[in-house]
């Protein structure tokens, strides 16, 4: 009887172990099931590179290029801002900060990671957006720049914590060797430690980018949501994620608009899949 | 020509500056929300239903909705996540399957939250015919926090020294008995920490509940798990972007309640973790 009970439990454990694979496959299959129908209406090429997104006009125009450009410009902006600052934070925390300050900084960054994105979006709307409007004398502060700044901020905890781990995992002997040869602490950091941790830092940057591309609420609240191809960072843009969040509520189930939103979901899923798999490869190289 | 120590000083100064650029805004955000939200914090605000198109009254249904959703998602994710963690730490061999499971967890953690919303909509709301309901929303959030629970629980289980297991097995206990009576009890604080972090995440997420449960305006409490519900994060989104002329203090007040809820939950996790580290016997 006890043997039997244990047998059942161990099978249950194995089954639960497999659930993550099951869910990833399930998510992808269901997205495909709903999303692929859109390609009966538009060709994949027109969908990906079509320049206008008017999903409810007659006939519907379902080109997601403006949305992809929106995501791209915000991601680029956020990456340019967050990578240098994030890596610098990680280096300071891992190598330079006295333990007291280190604890405070780490707690602050954990705090930032815990703040819900809708709260950050709200606060961005109330503070950052009017500020950008005034500084650049714009008709509206809901711009790609506001989104980039806010998302750079939101990507920070991911970048800092993973880069920090990568820096810690550099063998102590490297550092000691460099110091013993007479290098200063700073020379050791940027000539030895950072290069040795580079693949982990790269993974941190990629996961930070993944966070930015996938972020929905804050971006929807502060970028103005205009589905046009942006020509400047001071224009309103609309991202892939915000389009789904803003329009799914109104899309009629089974309409081409509904299918198109799921197809956008497929695009997002594939992007995040590629980012996660490659950054995982980088992290593994790090460990070796 | 600057000496190399001079360069070091300058470099460290800039590194410190980078940290200030992150930490100071975090402090400011908290300060602004607390300062502008506190005037709204009345007993009525916490316990009353929203009135006059959400412009006055309270946020009680949204608080309750969020609590239901969080409870539901944990009920779903904790057993599965814990068993999956046990599998990875105690049973899994170093093979292709294990590698695939780990990759799947990483991917699950990286899927954009709005894509979870789409998935929940088609699987739970339409395919399983739960409709937009607390059940559908909880399951969607549950899958979303699964990777958090698996990863933290696994770390907790793996940090139990191998010696403990060897002693138990050598005394004739079976593998499951060893896990049940030796490994699990020693990993409990870590598992609780992971669960609490999952709670914090589930309480704050908006995109996955947009199409699976959230009601724009529902001035009563949900009656069953097949009922729609209001939720705090969605309510904040609604009153700050969809409803015009909501008083600033009501918006900040809602943000403050959500923030307090999430940060309190995280604080509990941090306290448990540090207590555990102090008491650790090995």
Residue B225, pLDDT above cutoff 90: no
The domain of B28 spans 4-40
CA gap A158, A164 in Å, rounded: 10
**In terms of domains, do B36 and B77 share one?**
no
CATH number of residue A260's parent domain:
1.10.3720.10
CA B15 → CA A87, A152, A175, A268, distances in Å?
9, 17, 19, 34
A52-56, A152-156, B113-117, B149-153: segment of lowest average pLDDT? A52-56
Distance from CA of A148 to the nearest CA of B (A): 15
- Same domain (yes/no): B27, B71: no
- pLDDT over 90 (residue B140): yes
Site from A19, A107, A249 to mutate, B interface, most B CB atoms within 10 angstroms: A19
Cis peptide bond prior to A59, omega within 30° of 0 = yes
Neighboring chain B residues of A184 at a CB cutoff of 8 Å: 4-5, 7-8
Examine the domain organization and report whether B60 and B187 are in the same domain: yes
**CATH number (domain holding residue B154):** 1.10.3720.10
Same domain, B49 and B165: yes
| Residue A59 located in a structural domain | no
Count how many domains chain A has.
1
CB-based contact A96 B33, cutoff 8 Å: no
A134 part of a folded domain: yes
Q: Which residues of A touch B263 (CB under 8 A)?
A: 111, 114-115
- Indicate if B128 and B20 belong to the same structural domain: no
Amino acid B282: pLDDT: 60
* Cα of B127 vs its chain's centroid, Å: 26
| B28 and B54 inside one domain | no
pLDDT of residue A131: 94
ipTM exceeding the 0.85 mark: yes
pLDDT of residue A153: 93
Q: What residues of A are in contact with residue B8 (Cβ under 8 Å)?
A: 184-187
pLDDT score, position A230: 85
Best mutation target among B112, B237, B248 (most A Cβ atoms within 10 Å) is B112
Residue ranges making up the domain that contains A131? 66-287
pLDDT of residue A229: 86
Overall average pLDDT of the B207-223 stretch = 85
| 3 state DSSP class of B63 | helix
Tokens coding A169: 């995992």
Closest Cα in chain B, distance from residue A137 (Å): 23
Q: Is the pLDDT of residue B185 over 60?
A: yes
**pLDDT 10s digits, B1-19:** 678 889 899 999 999 999 9
pTM confidence score = 0.92
Our count of domains for chain B comes to 2
Q: How far apart are CA A105 and CA A115, in angstroms?
A: 16
Task: Judge whether A204 lies within some domain.
Answer: yes
Q: Are residues B223 and B129 in the same domain?
A: yes
* Distance to chain A for B152, nearest Cα, Å: 15
Min Cα–Cα distance to chain B from A211, Å:
7
Please check whether residue A4 lies inside any domain of the structure: no
Distance CA A50, CA A55 (A): 12
For the stretch B188-200, pLDDT in tens is: 888 998 898 899 8
Query: B83–A268: do the CB atoms touch at under 8 Å?
Result: no
Chunked into runs of 10 residues, chain A (288 residues) has average pLDDT values of 85 92 95 92 89 84 91 95 95 92 90 93 93 91 93 94 92 92 92 93 94 92 87 90 91 89 95 93 74
Average pLDDT, chain B: 90
B32 and B167 in a single domain? The answer is no
- B206/A269 CB distance under 8 A: no
Q: How many other C-beta atoms are found inside a 10 Å radius of the C-beta of residue A165?
A: 18
Q: Are residues B148 and B263 in the same domain?
A: yes
pLDDT digits (tens, 9 = 90+) for B19-60: 999 999 999 999 999 999 999 888 888 888 888 777 778 889
Q: How far apart are CA B251 and CA B36, in angstroms?
A: 9
User: For B91, which of A13, A127, A272 is closest by C-beta distance?
Assistant: A13
Q: Do B114 and A214 touch (CB under 8 A)?
A: yes
Q: Tell me how far apart the alpha carbons of residues A44 and A38 are, in angstroms, rounded to a whole number.
A: 9
Cβ–Cβ < 8 Å for A146, A128: yes
pLDDT more than 70, % of chain B: 99
Same domain flag for B22 and B70: no
> Do B140 and B227 lie in a common domain?
yes
Look at residue A274 in the predicted model and tell me its pLDDT: 95
Structure tokens at A92: 């300071």
As a three-state string, the secondary structure of chain A is CHHHHHHHHHHHHHHHHHHHHHHHHHHHHHHHHHHHHHHHCCCHHHHHHCCCEECCCCCCEECCHHHHHHHHHHHHHHHHHHHHHHHHHHHHHHHHCCHHHHHHHHHHHHHHHHCCHHHHHHHHHHHHHHHHHHHCCCCCCCCHHHHHHHHHHHHHHHHHHHHHHHHHCCCHHHHHHHHHCCCCHHHHHHHHHHHHCHHHHHHHHHHHHHHHHHCCHHHHHHCECCCCCCCCCCCCECCHHHHHHHHCCCCCCCCHHHHHHHHHHHHHHHHHHHHHHHHHHHHHHHHC
Residues B15, B123 within the same domain: no
Across the interface, which of B18, B119, B123 has its CB nearest the CB of A92? Answer: B18
Query: How does residue B94 score in pLDDT terms, banded at 50, 70 and 90?
Result: confident
Structural domain includes residue A41: no
pLDDT score, position B281: 62
């Amino acid at each position: 009887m006890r043997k039997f009970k244990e047998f059942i439990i161990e099978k249950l454990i194995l089954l639960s172990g497999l659930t993550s694979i099951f869910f990833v496959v399930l998510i992808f299959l269901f997205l495909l099931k709903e999303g692929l129908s859109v390609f009966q209406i538009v060709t994949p090429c027109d969908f990906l590179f079509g320049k206008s997104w008017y999903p409810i006009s007659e006939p519907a125009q379902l080109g997601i290029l403006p949305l992809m450009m929106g995501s791209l410009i915000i991601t680029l902006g956020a990456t340019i801002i967050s990578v240098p600052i994030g890596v610098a934070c990680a280096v300071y925390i891992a190598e330079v900060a006295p333990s007291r300050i280190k604890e405070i900084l780490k707690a602050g960054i954990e705090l930032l990671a815990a703040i819900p994105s809708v709260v950050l979006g709200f606060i961005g709307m109330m503070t950052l957006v009017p500020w950008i409007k005034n500084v650049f004398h714009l008709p509206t502060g809901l711009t790609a720049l506001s989104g980039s700044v806010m998302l750079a901020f939101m990507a920070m905890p991911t970048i800092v914590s993973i880069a920090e781990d990568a820096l810690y995992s550099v063998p102590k002997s490297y550092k000691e060797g460099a110091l013993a040869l007479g290098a200063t602490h700073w020379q050791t950091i940027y000539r030895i430690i950072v290069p040795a941790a580079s693949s982990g830092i790269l993974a941190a940057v990629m996961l930070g980018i993944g966070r930015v591309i996938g972020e929905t609420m804050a971006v929807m609240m502060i970028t103005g949501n205009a589905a046009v191809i942006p020509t400047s960072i001071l224009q309103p843009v609309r991202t892939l994620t915000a389009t789904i969040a803003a329009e799914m509520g109104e899309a009629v189930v089974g309409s081409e608009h509904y299918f198109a939103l799921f197809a956008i979901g497929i695009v997002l899923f594939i992007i995040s899949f590629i980012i996660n798999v490659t950054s995982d490869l980088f992290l593994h190289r790090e460990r070796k | 020509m600057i000496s190399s120590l001079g360069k070091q000083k300058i470099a460290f100064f800039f590194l410190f500056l980078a940290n200030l650029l992150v930490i100071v805004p975090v402090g400011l955000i908290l300060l602004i929300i607390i300062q502008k939200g506190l005037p709204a914090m009345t007993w009525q605000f916490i316990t009353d239903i929203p009135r006059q198109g959400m412009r006055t009254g309270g946020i009680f249904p949204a608080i309750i909705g969020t609590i239901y959703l969080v409870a539901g998602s944990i009920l779903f994710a904790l057993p599965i996540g814990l068993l999956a963690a046990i599998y990875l730490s105690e049973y899994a061999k170093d093979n292709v399957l294990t590698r695939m499971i780990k990759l799947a967890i990483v991917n699950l953690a990286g899927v954009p939250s709005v894509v979870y919303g789409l998935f929940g909509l088609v699987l739970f709301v339409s395919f399983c015919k739960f409709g937009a309901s607390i059940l559908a929303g909880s399951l969607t959030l549950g899958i979303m926090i699964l990777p958090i629970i698996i990863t933290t629980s696994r770390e907790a289980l793996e940090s139990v020294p191998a010696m403990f297991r060897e002693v138990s097995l050598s005394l004739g206990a079976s593998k499951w008995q060893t896990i049940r009576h030796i490994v699990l009890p020693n990993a409990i604080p870590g598992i609780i920490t992971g669960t609490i972090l999952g709670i914090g995440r589930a309480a704050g997420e908006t995109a996955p509940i947009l199409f699976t449960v959230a009601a724009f305006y529902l001035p009563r409490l949900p009656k069953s798990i097949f009922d729609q519900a209001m939720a705090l994060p969605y309510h904040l989104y609604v009153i700050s972007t969809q409803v015009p002329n909501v008083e600033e203090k009501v918006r900040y007040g809602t943000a403050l309640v959500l923030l307090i809820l999430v940060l309190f939950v995280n604080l509990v996790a941090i306290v448990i973790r540090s207590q555990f580290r102090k008491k650790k016997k090995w």
